[in-house]
Amino acid sequence: MMRLWAPTLQWCMLAKGDLDGIILYNSEGDDLYSGILMVMEAGGVVMDFDGRPFDGMSEEPYLIACHPEHREQLLQLVSEGMRS
């Protein structure tokens, strides 16, 4: 786990393949939608905590962004965390 005060850097690291995924809790700010676009253009997936593709704006985005290979692993991690 990494917490940075530079969200755009995290999005870039994910798009480049340096991170397995990003879990966003009520994320906001100018870099959210540009980061989503960057990751999707790099072949990544962005979905809500139920695994549905994120396809638009949300007032309180709770999202998972990752390489498609890590999709199920991160969904399970979030699900387990929400239950505890």
Q: Which CATH number fits domain 7-83: 3.30.420.10, 3.90.1200.10, 3.40.190.80, 3.40.50.10490?
A: 3.40.190.80
Q: How confident is the model at residue 60 (pLDDT cuts 50, 70, 90)?
A: confident
Q: What is the pLDDT of residue 27?
A: 76
Q: Give the lowest-confidence range in 30-39, 62-71, 72-81.
A: 30-39
Tokens of 26: 């009520």
- Distance of CA 68 to CAs 24, 45, 60, 77, Å? 17, 6, 23, 15
**Is 7's pLDDT higher than 90?**
no
Distance separating alpha carbons of residues 16 and 80, to the nearest angstrom: 27
Instruction: Sketch the domain layout of the chain as residue ranges.
Output: 7-83
Residues β-bridged to residue 24: 63
26-41: pLDDT as tens digits: 777 778 889 999 999 9
**Positive or negative, the Cα torsion across 18, 22, 27, 33?**
positive
Whether 24 has a pLDDT exceeding 80, the answer reads yes
**Is residue 72 predicted with pLDDT exceeding 80?**
yes
What is the reported pLDDT for 3?
74
